[in-house]
A and B are shown apart, each in its own frame.
Chain A
Amino acid sequence: MIQATAVVVGAGHAGLAMSRRLTERSIDHVVLERGEVANSWRTQRWPTLRLLTPNWQTRLPGYDYAGDGPDGFMPAVGVVATLTDYAGLVGAPVRTGTTVHALRAGPRGFEVQANDDLLHARTVVLATGACTRPAIPAIADAIPPPVTTLTPLAYRDPGQLPAGGVLVVGASATGVQLAAEIHRSGRPVTLAVGEHVRLPRRYRGRDIFWWLEATGLLAERYDQIDDLTRARHLPSPQLTGTSEAVTTDLNSLTALGIRLVGRLGRVVDGVAQFSGGLANMCALADLKMNRFLTRADQWATASGLDDKLPPAQRFAPTRVDPCTPLELDLTSGEITTVVWATGFRPDHSWLDIPVRDRTGRIRHDGGVVTAAPGLYVLGLPVLRTRASTYIHGAAADTAALADHLHSDLSSRRR
């Protein structure tokens, strides 16, 4: 029987940051990792993917980016290298190749079934990631057989896809990036656009993440956000990390020749039907972007930065073709591949503890799983602040949860 005060499941950025926090507090622990450190970045990310956040923002407890490209965007291999170095830097006790199959309540708190071992732990921190499973809509079953379907977790490069047209479903960061890359490969892309978040890559000479941080937006706490459910389910912003820091909004995609259609509603007899509400989806995203840019400008004025920054500007409204088709016959041969860029979900299905809601999502209060004292979750969107969605958010989140965990241990020891 193996015992540890704390078990951390997952050796990505969140799990490693938590390991550092536990070490700081002299709490003995082990980090269980199904593969290698940064496993999903090694095995489930396409090679041209780069972080949406600039390098200078890649901060973890005890680590600041010190490379020569602070304004660049780290590619997947760079994230793997950074996290591997970080694991060594903080001396994280990672057990690689260790898959956790089940988590149950046990006599000392929790029982963790990992490979063939049973671990006993007083506390458990779930850091298995927010993007573990692709969220594929039920209508996927109705895609006619000759059409190839693919999720972003399996996508590597356009060469994987047959020749012919591609329907990319979803216009978040993943959707716009894959749409552009696939379209440039000579496969004409149709992009189905539902609710989305439009942001320019740079604004007034600074990266948009500089603005999101400087204005205090990323620091907004989960318990002070009006509509937390909505905030936690917002699609990722339409951004790409490229060396040229270009904006990848819908206007830039239509300029490439990509065709926009509305949200994919259903597929009937091989015909895909799209929402007629595309114009409103785009209007909502334009309005939301402009509200943030106004907030940014007001902050700049209040901070006395107007003389130091280029002047305020506004971007062209999203162009929507009034003749946007509402249907696309997937049996005609025009479309040979459908890519589901419809989002991701965490996978907590292996928890044998009743802490999930009816939709399978873990119930937590800022990462504290209140229904199972001693259980914590990390690395989910807007877990404790809006920054929680991004790598650097783990610094504050792990500090807060490690404090909670520490005091919880002390109180239970008494």
Chain B
Amino acid sequence: MTITDNPVDNGVNVAALLGAREALSATPEAAEFTWRASCTWRTGTHSHSTVHGFTGLGAEQQHRTTYEYDIDHPECFASEDNGATPVEIVLVGLAGCLTAGVAAVAQFRGIQLRSVTATIEGQMNVLGILGADPDIRNGFDAITVRFAIDADASREDLEALIAQSQKRSAVFDVVANPTKILVELA
């Protein structure tokens, strides 16, 4: 099978990605991005976050529109459940990042995808965040992502696909590796 016989289209512009890689290697300062979000407290555990602008390619950039997220906790936490919990948002970010990676790597490797579904679970003992047991961490004990992929590829090719997706995933890196975090008063 060659690409010309059977054009693979996962909706990923590989030429643009490769071009960006080359261009940004030549002008490393343009590769410095800053991603931003802002979050406003509503009431209780309910907050409202927006995402609009970011910095990159040496300039201020904007999404097509402002994206909004309500964040809250479920009723079993005595909250009003106005939105997903922050930890679920993390899972959404990780699944979205890995899935985008699967599509991009598949395109690059000439694998036509028909469907990709990621099911992601994060196990957590909430005694940690409740401060009830100092030996239990606040965060996830473990995260499991299960990909169901329908594509013209062998199982080994698909395993390589999800392995490479993890390797190049920003959110996988953020979650798996320590990150310096500074929280200060404005």
Residues of A bordering B, CB below 8 Å: 195, 262-263, 265-266, 268, 273, 275-277, 280, 283-284, 287, 290-291, 358
> A283 to nearest B CB, angstroms?
5
| Bound Cα distance A287, B175 (Å) | 23
- Of B3-11, B42-50, B80-88, B158-166, the stretch lying at the interface with chain A is B158-166
| Bound Cα distance A277, B159 (Å) | 15
B74 contacts the other chain (CB 8 A): no
> B156 to nearest A CB, angstroms?
7
> A1 to nearest B CB, angstroms?
40
User: Which of B156, B160, B176, B180 has the most C-beta atoms of chain A within 10 angstroms of its own C-beta?
Assistant: B176
* Sample of 7 further A-B pairs with CB below 8 A, known A195-B167, A268-B178, A284-B163: A263-B177, A265-B177, A273-B178, A277-B176, A283-B159, A287-B159, A287-B163
Q: Is the CB of A277 within 8 A of B166?
A: yes
B172 contacts the other chain (CB 8 A): yes
B96 contacts the other chain (CB 8 A): no
Contacts across chains A and B counted by CB atoms under 8 Å: 35
Q: Is the CB of A280 within 8 A of B177?
A: no
The tally of residues in B whose CB lies under 8 Å from a CB in A reads: 15
> B151 to nearest A CB, angstroms?
17
User: Which of A195, A275, A290 has the most C-beta atoms of chain B within 10 angstroms of its own C-beta?
Assistant: A275
Q: Is the CB of B156 within 8 A of A277?
A: no
Q: Is the CB of A266 within 8 A of B178?
A: yes
Q: Is the CB of B28 within 8 A of A358?
A: yes
For B28, list chain A residues within 8 Å (CB): 358
Please give me the 3 A-B residue pairs with the lowest Cβ-Cβ distance, nearest first.
Answer: A276-B176, A277-B176, A265-B178
Q: Is the CB of A283 within 8 A of B163?
A: yes
Q: Is the CB of B156 within 8 A of A290?
A: yes
Given contacts A290-B156, A358-B28, contact A280 B163 (CB under 8 A): yes
User: Which of B166, B175, B177, B180 has the most C-beta atoms of chain A within 10 angstroms of its own C-beta?
Assistant: B177
- Please give me the residue from chain A that is nearest to B108 by CB atom: A226
| Bound Cα distance A358, B32 (Å) | 15
> B121 to nearest A CB, angstroms?
15
> A163 to nearest B CB, angstroms?
29
User: Which of B28, B163, B167, B178 has the most C-beta atoms of chain A within 10 angstroms of its own C-beta?
Assistant: B178
| Bound Cα distance A283, B180 (Å) | 27
For B173, list chain A residues within 8 Å (CB): 277
For B180, list chain A residues within 8 Å (CB): 266
Q: Is the CB of A275 within 8 A of B160?
A: no
For B177, list chain A residues within 8 Å (CB): 263, 265, 275-277
For A262, list chain B residues within 8 Å (CB): 176
For A287, list chain B residues within 8 Å (CB): 156, 159-160, 163
| Bound Cα distance A291, B175 (Å) | 29
Interface flags, B41-64, vs A, CB<8A=1, else 0 = 000000000000000000000000
Q: Is the CB of B178 within 8 A of A284?
A: no
> B170 to nearest A CB, angstroms?
13
| Bound Cα distance A273, B159 (Å) | 27
Interface flags, B114-127, vs A, CB<8A=1, else 0 = 00000000000000
| Bound Cα distance A275, B163 (Å) | 15
| Bound Cα distance A294, B180 (Å) | 42
Given contacts A287-B156, A290-B156, contact A280 B167 (CB under 8 A): yes
For B164, list chain A residues within 8 Å (CB): 284
- Please give me the residue from chain A that is nearest to B172 by CB atom: A277
- 17 of the cross-chain contacts (CB-CB < 8 Å) are A263-B177, A265-B177, A265-B178, A268-B178, A273-B178, A276-B175, A276-B176, A276-B177, A277-B166, A277-B173, A277-B176, A277-B177, A280-B166, A287-B160, A287-B163, A291-B160, A358-B28
| Bound Cα distance A268, B178 (Å) | 10
- Please give me the residue from chain A that is nearest to B159 by CB atom: A287
| Bound Cα distance A290, B163 (Å) | 14
Interface flags, B167-186, vs A, CB<8A=1, else 0 = 10000110111101000000
> B180 to nearest A CB, angstroms?
8
| Bound Cα distance A283, B164 (Å) | 10
> B66 to nearest A CB, angstroms?
33
For B163, list chain A residues within 8 Å (CB): 280, 283-284, 287
For A358, list chain B residues within 8 Å (CB): 28
| Bound Cα distance A407, B69 (Å) | 66
For A283, list chain B residues within 8 Å (CB): 159, 163
Given contacts A280-B167, A283-B163, contact A275 B156 (CB under 8 A): no
For B172, list chain A residues within 8 Å (CB): 277, 280
